[in-house]
């Protein structure tokens, strides 16, 4: 009784705050319903698109073995064309495409490093050649940026040539 009396007038002593001090969990407020008149074009299970993205990563990675440096562009273009069916938002699709490109080139590079190849020296040289600080990380970042730029431009082209019905 005395303890309750001392709590009077203090923050968290009343209503829901009191429940919280007693260890009773309070349900979070429900997310407000936001009506939208935008038509949903999303089709196919997300798992299928994730599998397609993994396949694209494998293809980009395999391309590095034979020197096909343009495969991030091709993968981005394919993603842009496929998005006509998939219907992902631009922000989601761009993040996925960038992740595909980074993984597609990053994994083989990492593999080369683990294999004991002197990628660090090459990356440092590339960084210096392009006016960046002499560090392997800078060279690596530049390589991954090249992959991302290719993939994003490919995605842009794919989306531009296959507009959705609402965009026509």
Partner 1 sequence: MLEERERARRLRLYGNGVAALVAAILVLAALGVGLETHRPLGPGLVPGHGEWAAWVRR
Q: How far apart are CA 31 and CA 50, in angstroms?
A: 27
Q: Whose Cβ is closer to partner 1: residue 41's or residue 69's?
A: 69
Query: Residues 56 to 85: which contact partner 1 by CB under 8 A?
Result: 63-70, 73, 77
Q: How far apart are CA 94 and CA 44, in angstroms?
A: 18
Q: Is 167 in the site for partner 1 (CB under 8 A)?
A: yes
Beta carbons within 8 Å of 160's beta carbon, 6+ residues apart = 80
Q: Is 113 in the site for partner 1 (CB under 8 A)?
A: no
Q: Whose Cβ is closer to partner 1: residue 25's or residue 38's?
A: 38
Q: Whose Cβ is closer to partner 1: residue 99's or residue 142's?
A: 142
**161 with 149: CB under 8 angstroms?**
no
> For binding to partner 1 (CB under 8 A), which residues are involved?
63-70, 73, 77, 105, 108-109, 112, 117-119, 122-123, 125-127, 129, 139, 142-143, 146, 149-150, 153-154, 156-157, 159-161, 163, 167-168
């Amino acid at each position: 009784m005395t303890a309750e009396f001392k709590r009077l007038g203090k923050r968290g002593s009343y209503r829901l705050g009191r429940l919280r001090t007693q260890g009773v969990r309070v349900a979070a407020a429900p997310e407000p319903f936001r009506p939208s008149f935008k038509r949903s074009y999303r089709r196919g299970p997300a798992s299928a698109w994730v599998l397609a993205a993994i396949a694209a990563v494998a293809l980009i990675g395999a391309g590095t073995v034979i020197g096909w440096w343009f495969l991030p562009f091709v993968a981005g273009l394919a993603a842009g064309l496929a998005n006509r069916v998939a219907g992902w938002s631009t922000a989601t699709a761009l993040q996925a495409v960038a992740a595909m490109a980074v993984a597609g080139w990053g994994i083989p590079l990492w593999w080369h490093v683990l294999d004991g190849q002197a990628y660090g020296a090459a990356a440092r040289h590339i960084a210096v050649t392009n006016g960046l600080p002499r560090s392997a990380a800078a060279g690596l970042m530049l390589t991954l940026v090249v992959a991302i730029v290719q993939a994003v431009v490919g995605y842009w082209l794919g989306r531009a040539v296959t507009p959705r019905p609402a965009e026509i």
